[in-house]
Amino acid sequence: MSDPEREEPEYLRLNRAHWDGRAAQHALGYGSHRYVDDPELLSGVVRYDLPRLGDIRGLDAVHLQCHIGTDTLSLHRLGARVTGLDFSPASLAEARRLAEAAGAPIRYVESDVYRASVALEPASFDLVYTGIGVLGWLPRVAPWAEQIAALLRPGGRLVFREGHPLMWTLDETRPDALVARYGYFEHEEPLVFIGSDTYVEIPGELPESTTHEWNHGIAEVLGALLAAGLDIAAVEEHDAVPWDALPGHLELGDDEEYRMRAGEPRLPLTWSVVAVKR
Ligand SMILES: C[S@@+](CC[C@H](N)C(=O)[O-])C[C@H]1O[C@@H](n2cnc3c(N)ncnc32)[C@H](O)[C@@H]1O
């Protein structure tokens, strides 16, 4: 008889297959080789977060949902001792390849983020870094916040920037208009997407995949972090997003961030939190 507690939820199986199917192409699309060619290169995402990260030299840092490791490598280059965690073995294979080619001693661990404090050592990190396309894969924010609290030492910090939940409500298939299509608040049933597209330019075709995704409101995320034992040190809303999240409405700037085109309303496209473990 099967043990229902051991059965993997459908969303995990589908979403992992989605990410596994994209990892190799993303390594090309993200230009992973640039990090080997230039030993000082930082990802645009980490560069944008430098004001929130501050000096991280010597810190024990974990990058949750690290994907192919370009941001993880950037944290290492800022002087932290870094662990990357992701549930996609194909993503981790790319991340390990990049770290080795760049000569960076980064530990990579395969795990569902909801089990991060079991896969890693609890209360042993000074910094949890995560964001830019992570929360939407998770049905609930409360267990995510609990994992972050469990990983941090008292006084340790979370630095998190994510797509703004208002931006996630908008119909990404309408270059002609800004139309709310999806709900803002956390919801029970997943949004189901079927397709073969991705958010970076890649050579060639991708396999079709089905994903299960969720939106989470700002107060729901902040409330979950507070309830899990973190104090909110800073919250910001940003007019920039590092991928073309609303095709037809955004233009790319010199800082590798997209902003609303001239003449379009200036909307919050990402938001960030710095929180400290009590
Ligand atoms: C858009 S990437 C975000 C990483 C980073 N911002 C980047 O662009 O490189 C999303 C990552 O979340 C991972 N992921 C999704 N659901 C997860 C889960 N439940 N546990 C661990 N990792 C998960 C995927 O495998 C993927 O690598």
pTM of the model: 0.96
Average pLDDT over residues 138-152: 98
| Residue 1: per-residue pLDDT | 41
**Residue 203 pLDDT exceeds 80:** no
Atom of ligand 1 at shortest range from CA of 113: 20
User: Would you say residue 174 has pLDDT above 80?
Assistant: yes
Atom of ligand 1 nearest to the CA of 133: 1
Percentages helix, strand, coil for the chain, rounded to the nearest 5? 35, 25, 40
Helix (H) or strand (E) holding 151: helix 142-151
| Gap from CA of 264 to ligand 1 centroid (Å) | 30
| Sheet arrangement for strand 152-163 | 107-110, 81-86, 60-64, 125-131, 152-163, 270-277, 230-238
111-143 pLDDT, tens per residue? 999 999 999 999 999 999 999 999 999 999 999
| Residue where the block lists tokens 């397709």 | 195
Q: What are the tokens at 102?
A: 């760049």
Q: Is 110 in the pocket of ligand 1 (CB under 6 A)?
A: no
Which pLDDT score is estimated for 186? 97
> CB of 67 closer than 6 A to ligand 1?
yes
Q: What is the mean pLDDT of residues 40-49?
A: 98
> For 31-35, 75-79, 245-249, which range has the lowest pLDDT when averaged over its residues?
31-35
- Give the model's confidence band at 2: pLDDT under 50 very low, under 70 low, under 90 confident, else very high: very low
Average pLDDT over residues 52-69: 98
**Which numbered atom of ligand 1 lies nearest the CA of 71?**
9
* pLDDT tier for residue 184 given thresholds of 50, 70 and 90: very high
pLDDT at 204 over 80: no
Cβ(133) – ligand 1 distance below 6 Å: yes
Asked whether the predicted pLDDT for residue 202 surpasses 80, the reply is no
* Any ligand 1 atom below 6 A from CB of 162: no
How confident is the model at residue 3, as a pLDDT?
54
Q: Which domains does the chain have, with CATH numbers?
A: 4-277 (3.40.50.150)
